[in-house]
Amino acid sequence: MKRNRLGKSELYVSEIGLGCMSLGTEKKHALSLLHEAMDRGINFLDTADLYDEGRNEELVGEALRGRRSDVVLATKVGNRWEPGKEGWSWDPSKAYIKAAVKDSLRRLQTDYIDLYQLHGGTLDDPIDETIEAFEELKQEGVIRYYGISSIRPNVIREYVQRSNIVSVMSQYSILDRRPEETVLPLLRDKGISLIARGPVAKGILTSDGHRKAEKGYLDYSQDELSPLLGSLNVLGEGSRDIAHTAIRYALSDAAVAAVIPGASSIPQLVHNIEAAHAEELSDRDIDAIRRISRSNQYEQHR
């Protein structure tokens, strides 16, 4: 599978990675998915301490026994869970980040994280303190690089200007083209990569999409999605199915290093991986997709 450089880092990630959130908590099933992904060329795994209260990191760590050097391992920090308290609290403080990384390392059964990402963020955060925490972890060799996972352009701009992030993870798909407005041009200009999550829009951009589109998506109603899905099927007819068209669209921007669709079954995983071998979109294809879809824009956090 093709590998792309992540920003200006020394990390080269498979263009299709695995978003691990959908693995589930059953050990045998999760390990089979992770091993299948790695066996088929995926070297980029993305998890978070938030997922299943750390259980997801534990499963990823177990799957990586004996294979750690083959993988670019990404996880996230910032959402704090405390036993006895309901829900999660947001904590981007230096003290918390430097404590939380130790727990992630233990669960992941490794002594370093390739890409450590802030799992959110607002302009009210102590941004300089947060950056200082990541920089110190780099100096200590605990993490190799860091990034941010965010859909807020105003926050992304702050980290682009004030830190050494190599990547931004953000939702991006044919149905969510908001990053095209400001985020992707900014990242291209600064040599920072986008990691695109949600490329098939919760399964709407798949062969089963009509059923999953019943509740709409972002500013699309079900009535708008049905003809759009029909047009996308016609566009890829003979060369790509709709999911592969969607994944190739997210990868078509030069700033996008990888997409990370989730997978809850082996057939779903294999189908996602097959997009790596699907015909790339032509300029004409991209223009057609942009004509039939909406150029969404961020209404908040601009």
- Annotated active-site positions, please? 51
Name residue, tokens 């060329």.
41
> What is the rounded CA–CA span in Å between residue 260 and residue 205?
14
Backbone angles phi, psi at 210, to 5 degrees: -60, -40
Contact 78, 53 (CB under 8 A): no
CA distances from 169 to 117, 137, 197 (A): 8, 20, 7
Alpha helices in 181-265 (DSSP H): 183-190, 209-212, 222-236, 242-251
CA distances from 26 to 12, 23, 124, 132, 267 (A): 30, 8, 38, 37, 17
> What is the rounded CA–CA span in Å between residue 249 and residue 71?
25
Angle subtended by helix axes 27-39 and 55-63, to nearest 10: 50
